[in-house]
Chain A
Amino acid sequence: MKKDLARSIVTTLFVAAVLILFSTPAPGQVQATGGGVAMTSLEHLKSKSSGPAPRTADGKPDLSGLWGPDPHFMGDFSAALKPGDVLPLQPWALKLTKERLPKDDPNANCLPAGVPRMAPYPWKVIQTPKLIVFLMEGNMHTYRQIFMDGRGHPKDMDPTWYGDSTGKWEGNTLVVDTVGFNDKFWFDSSGHPHTEKLHVIERYRRPDSGHLEFEVTIDDPGAYTKPFTLFGHSPLMVNTEIMEYFCVENNQDISHIVGTEKAGRAE
């Protein structure tokens, strides 16, 4: 009897703790999640819609819309692995991750996030049959073009922050294939690295009107011992729009970032 009571107290405590940890904060309430206040500011703007996903005139799933970021793709992207999976970092890549300092994070220096890193700001999908465009509010106010017209990747590419993306439909899934990356961006603020051998395959699905699901397979034989897949979710954002965000406008932080603490999970 005594044992049952103790067990039920522990269960109640655990449920209460989980509720506190994962409850949706009210607008203006500060909560410790990836992206800090910028993420909190989006909480009350998430769509509650769970109706069927819309389709375009040509019958494809319509992914158009303003989507919220997934905090697992910010501080430490291993948070987006399947539970139990670990990042297959090569030794040099693990060493570099540990050595990197927060002041050198390209994001802190207002440089682009690259793929699949996210900033705590919304991004917009503009979909046409032959071209899909992602507009990013932050961390750079920038864009990605996904060519849907059947072209391949160019043979001679200069490495870039977002690479060259081609896309195709596999049933209800948009499959985006990207190569041609530079090695400058960090995968997250923990500093996980990659090389120019990086090849990313993203698979986007809209299970209902209010949600986007995606899987990102990272294949970089230069920095990882095998390919691995990350899983993400984006909520549809309503009653807001992409807003102008030029990070370089007033970035006073760098000279004050003197600590070594990173935002992500411990290695």
Chain B
Amino acid sequence: MRTMVGVLVTGLGLLVAALPALAHHSFAAEYDAKRPVTLHGVVTKVEWFNPHARFIIDVKDETGKVTTWNLELASPNALRRLGWTRDFLQVGGEVTVVGVLAKDGSKLATARSVTLADGRKMVAGSSASE
């Protein structure tokens, strides 16, 4: 019995591992799914271009120091098909972004969801959940 459950769990693990997740590049080679991040900041720029829409935010810490982050979304085409519109992100607007950090240590993350100050939230990732 225990063996059967073990085989089942191992089998499912392999299945999940076998499901690839990528856009036009390998997700896992650019982002570290084990390093999630939540950022709260103000949008300073929106780039609604392929292959990935992006937006830049300024994040202020407790000491007042500002850090600029580059946040990757899916392509505008995929975002449109998910119900996004180009004006969802507004320069000057406050956002909370849940995402995953880049592997190279730069101030870059891929966003999984974006929540606006008024509570509106969109699933946003350029990556699949892993």
Are chains A and B native binding partners rather than an unrelated pairing?
yes
Q: Which residues of A contact B (CB under 8 A)?
A: 3, 6, 10, 13-14, 17, 21, 27-38, 40-42, 45, 71, 74-76, 79, 101-103, 105, 107-108, 110, 119-121, 137-139, 189, 240, 243-247, 249-266
Q: How many A-B contacts if CB must be within 8 Å?
A: 196
**How many whole Å from B77's CB to the nearest CB in chain A?**
4
Q: Pick the contact of A30: B29, B50, B123 (CB < 8 A).
A: B123
Given A76-B20, A263-B20, A265-B20: A28 touches B26 (CB 8 Å cut-off): no
Name the residue among A30, A105, A260 with the largest chain B CB count within 10 angstroms.
A30
**How many whole Å from B103's CB to the nearest CB in chain A?**
5
Q: Pick the contact of A264: B20, B24, B50, B129 (CB < 8 A).
A: B20
Complex alpha-carbon distance, A244 and B51, angstroms? 10
Q: Contact: A28 with B122, CB < 8 Å?
A: yes
Q: Contact: B52 with A71, CB < 8 Å?
A: no
Complex alpha-carbon distance, A254 and B25, angstroms? 9
Name 7 interchain pairs, CB-CB below 8 A, sorted by A.
Answer: A33-B21, A34-B20, A38-B23, A40-B82, A253-B51, A261-B26, A261-B29
Contact partners of B83 in chain A: CB under 8 A: 27-28
Q: Pick the contact of B29: A13, A21, A45, A262 (CB < 8 A).
A: A262
Q: Which of B61-103 contact A (CB under 8 A)?
A: 70, 72, 74-83, 102-103
Complex alpha-carbon distance, A264 and B21, angstroms? 8
Given A41-B74, A249-B50: A138 touches B24 (CB 8 Å cut-off): yes
Given A30-B112, A251-B51: A262 touches B28 (CB 8 Å cut-off): yes
Complex alpha-carbon distance, A121 and B79, angstroms? 12
Complex alpha-carbon distance, A45 and B76, angstroms? 16
Name the residue among B20, B126, B130 with the largest chain A CB count within 10 angstroms.
B20
Q: Which of B97-130 contact A (CB under 8 A)?
A: 102-104, 106, 108, 112, 122-130
Q: Contact: A37 with B77, CB < 8 Å?
A: no
Given A103-B29, A256-B104, A259-B29: A37 touches B51 (CB 8 Å cut-off): no
Please encode chain B, from 17 to 46, with 1 for each CB lying within 8 Å of some chain A CB and 0 for all others: 111111111111110000000000000000
Contact partners of B82 in chain A: CB under 8 A: 27-28, 37, 40-41
Given A251-B51, A264-B20: A38 touches B29 (CB 8 Å cut-off): no
Q: Contact: A189 with B51, CB < 8 Å?
A: no
Given contacts A17-B8, A37-B127, A263-B28, 18 further A-B pairs with CB under 8 A are A27-B82, A28-B122, A28-B123, A31-B129, A33-B128, A38-B23, A38-B74, A38-B77, A71-B20, A105-B26, A243-B80, A246-B50, A249-B51, A252-B52, A253-B24, A256-B30, A258-B103, A259-B30
Residue in chain A with minimal CB distance to B113: A30
Contact partners of A37 in chain B: CB under 8 A: 23, 74, 78, 82, 123-128
Q: Contact: A29 with B123, CB < 8 Å?
A: yes
Q: Contact: B22 with A34, CB < 8 Å?
A: yes
Q: Contact: A258 with B30, CB < 8 Å?
A: yes
Contact partners of B16 in chain A: CB under 8 A: 21, 32
Contact partners of A79 in chain B: CB under 8 A: 18
Given A37-B82, A256-B104, A263-B27: A247 touches B51 (CB 8 Å cut-off): yes
Q: Contact: B25 with A107, CB < 8 Å?
A: yes
Q: Contact: A250 with B81, CB < 8 Å?
A: no
